[in-house]
């Protein structure tokens, strides 16, 4: 897998097309794509949006067409951008409660879950997950980079 930078609109459109209810896109955002080196095709993307500099918050949305995209390098860059490059103190992630795989991944990464009934409509609950810079730097995923 190879990371793709500088193609914010392309990656954001790709991610939005894979997330139900995200047809209107992300607005002003930064994005990192993940390209399969064998096929040279975009297979995943991470979009950083709704940046709030004063409290140091940013939202992340991601989507993929393969489960092979989430390598150690991708994980590192996914959180290095908000925490190390732009100085966020918290990343926020919204997930449908029906997306059990992503709920499991978020919890494994150390996100704190906040369940919200009907968050995605009358018949769909969701989670707002939060991850602080301290929690990320102390997680098992960053020992290689932060000691």
All structural domains of the chain: 2-146 (3.40.630.30)
| pLDDT of the residue at 143 | 61
Distance of alpha carbon 47 from alpha carbon 12, whole angstroms: 6
Q: What is the pLDDT of residues 34-93, one digit of tens each?
A: 999 999 999 999 999 999 999 999 999 999 999 888 888 888 888 999 999 999 999 999
Per-state percent for the chain, helix, strand, coil, to nearest 5 = 30, 35, 35
Q: What is the pLDDT of residues 124-133, one digit of tens each?
A: 999 999 999 9
């Amino acid at each position: 897998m190879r990371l793709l930078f500088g193609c914010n609109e392309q990656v954001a459109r790709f991610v939005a097309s894979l997330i139900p209810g995200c047809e209107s896109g992300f607005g002003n955002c930064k994005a990192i794509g993940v390209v399969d080196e064998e096929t040279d095709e975009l297979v995943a993307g991470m979009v950083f949006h709704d940046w709030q500099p004063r409290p140091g918050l940013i939202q992340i949305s991601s989507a993929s067409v393969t489960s092979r995209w989430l390598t150690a390098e991708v994980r590192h860059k996914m959180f290095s951008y908000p925490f190390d490059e732009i100085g966020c103190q918290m990343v926020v992630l919204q997930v449908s409660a029906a997306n059990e795989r992503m709920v499991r991944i978020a919890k494994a990464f150390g996100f704190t879950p906040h369940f919200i009934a009907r968050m995605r409509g009358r018949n769909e609950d969701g989670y707002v997950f939060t991850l602080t810079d301290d929690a990320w730097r102390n997680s098992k995923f960053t020992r290689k980079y932060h000691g």
